[in-house]
Structure 1
Amino acid sequence: MGVVYLAALLVTLGCMLLLDRRFRLFFWRDAIAASVVTLVGLAFFLVWDIAGIAGGIFFRGEGVIATGVLLAPELPLEEPVFLVFLVVCTMVIFTGAMRVLDALRRRAGRSGTP
């Protein structure tokens, strides 16, 4: 049971990457830019987490679904995987929304509707 959360994170990350591949939204549109955005986002949120841990705000909860592996005090192995998922999910949703909005604008422009 100790890997359920990590496995769920990896499966959902894989699903986001499949959507990304299907519609060429983030990594499959520009892999270098997507890698930079993902690494910067991961670094930002890890610093945020470390500051929260140091300030006594964030604590690791005990759960039977987690691996129990700690990368640092109060920083479980699953946290960086979750943060990568968070960044990728956000960027896939953002780029997908931008594509939909652009299509709606083009359609409105062709029909002469403001």
Structure 2
Amino acid sequence: MPGLYLLAILLSAAGVAALDRRFRLAAFRNPRRTWIAVAVGTAFFLVWDAVGIATGVFVKGGSDLLLGLDLAPHLPVEEPVFLAFLCYLAVVSWEAAMSFTESR
């Protein structure tokens, strides 16, 4: 089913955002800092992907779960969305860990 992977990423991001909102961990406490960290991390990993694609290390496999739209050769549209989700999850996880250790 095309788009299922993107839908799974977006649903997962919504779950992380709900936890972030409930506990005011990252974007709901300091949105500017959070989105800068997500943007910088996403850009870093996109450059990493570009280098991997250029050297032939990364190739896009075939899957019926992808939309089938590519931003560049071997770079599906889902990749930057996933990378942004990964960075957001890392920031929220870090803030949750810091919040937990500070409360002890």
TM-score, L = length of structure 2: 0.98
Distance 1:19 1:81 in 2: 19
- Aligned partner of 2:29 in structure 1 is 29
Q: Give the corresponding residue for 2:94.
A: 94
Rounded Cα–Cα distance in structure 2 between residues aligned with 1:35 and 1:52:
25
Instruction: In structure 2, list runs of 5 or more residues that go unmatched.
Output: none
Aligned residues: 104
Q: 1:54: which partner in 2? A: 54
Give unpaired runs (5+ residues) of structure 1.
105-114
- The 4+ residue runs of structure 1 with deviation greater than 3 A are none
Aligned residue identity for 2:3: V
CA distance in 1, matches of 2:99, 2:86: 20
**Structure 1 residue aligned with 2:39:** 39
Q: How far did residue 94 of structure 1 move? A: 0.7
The percent of aligned pairs where both chains have the same amino acid is 43
TM-score by length of 1: 0.90
User: 2-side partners of 1:39 and 1:103: how far apart?
Assistant: 29
